[in-house]
């Protein structure tokens, strides 16, 4: 019995008999072909994700050039103060950034996503968590730039308040949300001075007062418009689980001297804490760092309250990889992301206020024990 006839053209070549390749060889070549196709798909097909990774590091006591970069020759002081005596500083107060790989117009490939999964210094996030639906890269950059400007002003206010300076601080209407109770009553630029008789001096105080009032009755707001004071009534509404007036509020400050922060191409509010510490160090005779390199992150308001930020794991790796930064100031509200993810060699302290951070810096520069200072709890 034969499986192939001698005159089968597939088995003959120039009079010679051809032997059919073994089945396992055929399967092997098919597998290789499938792998090549899969590799091309992974390399070329965009994924609905973005990658967060450690970004540049900047010393708030130094220049606007990133730490470790080759000097360009046209560097500027990151924090400059005029109209007030300043003092020499030492060491470093590093602010940390996160770089995002991918955007709505240019998403990373599946191959890049797969590689990021296995690197603890990187995080893979759904595209819509970083760029909400309908938001372009340009719009996102503009929003982050505005947040950076606001955070710089809040940081200046926090530092000067901590040092005992007094200056006008007003909560103001920066934006009106269409078809909300406030849109027909308030105007952009109005100062909000009270809510139901309670003095309002910060955004958090405004939020708490509106929440306390609730949605069932009007809130009585004291406002100042074009220099004239008046009282208006607005009934708050619920939006995404929050009690709101329907405004975007911000702070207006009149500082007693000029503080300028020079940092381009970095957005978001997360540098607030380190800006505030850098300003304080320049305005006080004694160095805050004791010559040591200290890194940190966190939003800050004019009262010195430090708030949570995104990408803290990537920022911890950025601090460690800078070289000699072994101390890290993290917002206490980020502890759930810190615990279990601290790179070796980094001492992380959990801080809630600017005063907490100053206690850490005092212990570090004096060489005192830091065992009693707050840290994120272990799991």
Express each pLDDT in 335-362 by its tens digit.
999 999 999 889 999 999 999 999 999 9
How many separate domains does the chain show? 2
Domain boundary among 253, 270, 287: 253
145 and 284 belong to one structural domain:
yes
41, part of any domain? no
121 and 72 belong to one structural domain:
yes
> Which CATH number is 209's domain given?
2.30.42.10
292 and 200 belong to one structural domain:
no
The confidence band for 4, taking pLDDT boundaries of 50, 70 and 90, is: very low
Give yes or no for residue 292 having a pLDDT over 90: yes
Give yes or no for residue 323 having a pLDDT over 60: yes
275, part of any domain? yes
Is residue 330 a contact partner of residue 350, using CB atoms and an 8 Å limit?
yes
355 and 287 belong to one structural domain:
yes
pTM > 0.85: no
* Digit-coded pLDDT (tens) for 234-282: 999 998 889 999 999 999 999 999 999 998 888 889 999 999 999 999 9
54 and 143 belong to one structural domain:
yes
Quote the mean pLDDT of the chain: 88
Q: What is the DSSP pairing of strand 327-331 with strand 347-351?
A: parallel
56 and 178 belong to one structural domain:
no
303, part of any domain? yes
289, part of any domain? yes
Domain boundary among 191, 226, 253: 253
Tell which wins on pLDDT, 17 or 309.
309
> Which CATH number is 69's domain given?
3.30.230
261 and 154 belong to one structural domain:
yes
Cα 111-112-117 angle, rounded to 5 deg: 100
Share of the chain above pLDDT 90, in %: 64
Domain boundary among 238, 253, 268: 253
25, part of any domain? no
235 and 191 belong to one structural domain:
yes
159 and 77 belong to one structural domain:
yes
Q: Closest Cα partner for 83 from 206, 222, 260, 211?
A: 260
Share of the chain above pLDDT 70, in %: 90
290 and 335 belong to one structural domain:
yes
Give yes or no for residue 15 having a pLDDT over 60: no
307, part of any domain? yes
Give the residue ranges of DSSP H helices in 253-345. 272-283, 312-321, 335-338
Is residue 272 a contact partner of residue 155, using CB atoms and an 8 Å limit?
yes
Instruction: List Cα–Cα distances, 142 to 97, 107, 219, in angstroms.
Output: 17, 20, 33
Is residue 63 a contact partner of residue 70, using CB atoms and an 8 Å limit?
no
182 and 288 belong to one structural domain:
no
Establish how many alpha carbons lie within 13 A of residue 240's alpha carbon, considering only the half-sphere containing its beta carbon: 2
Q: Closest Cα partner for 94 from 66, 70, 122?
A: 66
Burial category of 191 from C-beta neighbours within 10 Å (exposed 0-12, middle 13-18, buried 19 and up): middle
27, part of any domain? no
156 and 302 belong to one structural domain:
yes
Domain with 294 in it: 49-163+257-366
């Amino acid at each position: 019995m034969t499986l192939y006839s001698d005159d089968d053209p597939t088995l003959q070549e120039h009079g010679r008999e051809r032997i059919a390749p073994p089945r396992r060889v055929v399967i092997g070549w098919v597998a290789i072909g499938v792998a090549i196709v899969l590799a091309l798909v992974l390399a070329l097909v965009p994924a609905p994700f973005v990658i967060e990774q450690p970004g540049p590091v900047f010393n708030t006591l130094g220049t606007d050039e990133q730490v470790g970069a080759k000097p360009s020759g046209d560097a500027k002081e990151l924090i400059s103060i005029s109209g007030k005596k300043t003092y020499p500083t030492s060491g470093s107060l590093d602010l940390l950034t996160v770089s995002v790989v991918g955007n709505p117009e240019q998403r990373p490939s599946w191959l890049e996503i797969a590689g990021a999964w296995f690197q603890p210094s990187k995080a893979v996030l759904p595209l819509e968590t970083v760029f909400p639906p309908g938001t372009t890269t340009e719009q996102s950059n503009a929003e982050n730039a505005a947040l950076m400007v606001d955070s710089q002003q809040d940081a200046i206010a926090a530092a000067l308040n901590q040092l005992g300076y007094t200056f006008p601080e007003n909560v103001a209407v920066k934006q009106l949300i269409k078809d909300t109770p406030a849109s027909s009553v308030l105007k952009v630029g109005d100062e909000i001075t009270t809510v139901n008789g309670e003095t309002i001096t910060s955004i958090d105080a405004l939020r708490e007062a509106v929440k306390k009032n609730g949605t069932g009755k009007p809130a009585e707001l004291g406002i100042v418009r074009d220099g004239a004071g008046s009282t208006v009534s607005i009934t708050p509404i619920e939006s995404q689980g929050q009690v709101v007036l329907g405004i975007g509020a911000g702070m207006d400050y009149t500082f007693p001297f000029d503080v300028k922060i020079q940092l381009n191409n970095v957005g978001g509010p997360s540098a607030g804490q380190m800006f505030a510490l850098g300003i304080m160090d320049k305005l006080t005779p004694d160095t805050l760092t004791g010559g040591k390199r200290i890194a940190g992150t966190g939003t800050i308001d004019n009262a010195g309250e430090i708030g949570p930020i995104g990408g803290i794991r990537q920022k911890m790796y950025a601090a460690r990889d800078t070289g000699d930064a072994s101390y890290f100031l993290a917002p206490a509200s980020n502890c759930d992301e810190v615990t279990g993810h601290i790179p070796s060699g980094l001492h992380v302290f959990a801080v809630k206020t600017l005063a907490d951070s100053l206690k850490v810096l005092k212990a570090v520069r004096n060489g005192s024990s830091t065992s009693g200072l707050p840290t994120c709890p272990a799991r």
